[in-house]
Amino acid sequence: MRNLDIATLRSLQAVAEYGAVTRAAEALNMTQSALSMQIKRLEEVFARPLLEKQGRGIVLSEFAQLLLTESRKLVAQNDAIIARFTGVTPDCRLRVGLTTDWPPLHLTQAVRRFREAHPNVEIVLNDGASVALLKQFEQGELDVILTTEADCGMDGTVLMTIPLVWVGAVDGTAWRQRPLMLTNALWCAFLHMGTAALNRAGIAWQHASGVGSCERNLMMTAADQGVNILLRTHTREGLQRIDHGGALPPLPSASLNMYLTKGKVAAMAGEFGGYLRRAVQDEARVAA
């Protein structure tokens, strides 16, 4: 009977989450050669290749994907046993920030699956504007942030893109008025993307008075005091996508981005990031 080495399984998980041996080794505080040796040791146990070249990078083989699903359970059980009987727990507080635009289904699925595998990890959720989250992330106040932006920063990862749409009150007429009143907050990336489209189309616009928090802005929109620019997936009672028949210009898509810390909880943040990626991929498959 052969025994599996938990360290080799943990290395496989890191490669899956980071998509590169180098980055996975950094997250585990190992050398690249040491991590490669662990992957090789695991390949020898099963006599199957685990990594395959794809372009300039690597991907997990089909067998490795199957192994990964089961190995996560074993690694999680190992960590739970160590924590329970030794009282030694990992740095188990992960600070996650996200914008209010972020589709909640992806996040809730990821948090639930992650917590099932890592019951001793506390996830602290914060919300805010992308601009504020990025600043907090740079200052080391957050470990994972999920932003909605026109594009993606150099250190971020685009998890998906979602088209923007014009949204107004149910049976509202505010979208017909000129200048067009906009109810997005001044710091909202969607506002700048929308005004750029309006400027190109030569449509006059103004920022509606009384705009404040996202919740207040949506209430103003539902009261037909202006129009809002939202992700196509965003739904709320009292609002509907405007059927303007071409009276308003088309809008671009927004990037839903993820940024992971390189600090002391980098490995845990990377693990959580993997759950987010899979939640997004699962949703995309269902939608297709």
pLDDT in tens, 108-138: 888 888 888 887 788 888 888 899 899 999 9
6-88, which class in CATH?
A: mainly alpha
CATH, range 161-254:
3.40.190.10
Residue 86 contacts by C-beta under 8 Å, 6 or more apart in sequence? none
pLDDT, average across residues 251-255: 95
Please write the tens of the pLDDT for every residue from 157-196.
999 999 999 999 999 999 999 999 999 988 888 999 999 9
Per-residue pLDDT band for 247 (boundaries 50, 70, 90) equals very high
Q: Where in the chain is the domain with CATH 3.40.190.10?
A: 161-254
For residue 173, what are the contacts with CB-CB under 8 A and spacing of at least 6?
A: 224
Q: Note the pLDDT tens digit of each residue in 186-243.
A: 888 899 999 999 999 999 999 987 766 777 888 999 999 999 999 998 888 899 999 9
Phi, psi of 118 (to 5 degrees): -130, 70
Q: What is the pLDDT of residue 286?
A: 62
Residues of the chain with CATH 1.10.10.10: 6-88
Q: Residue 163's beta-bridge partner residues?
A: 253
pTM of the model: 0.68
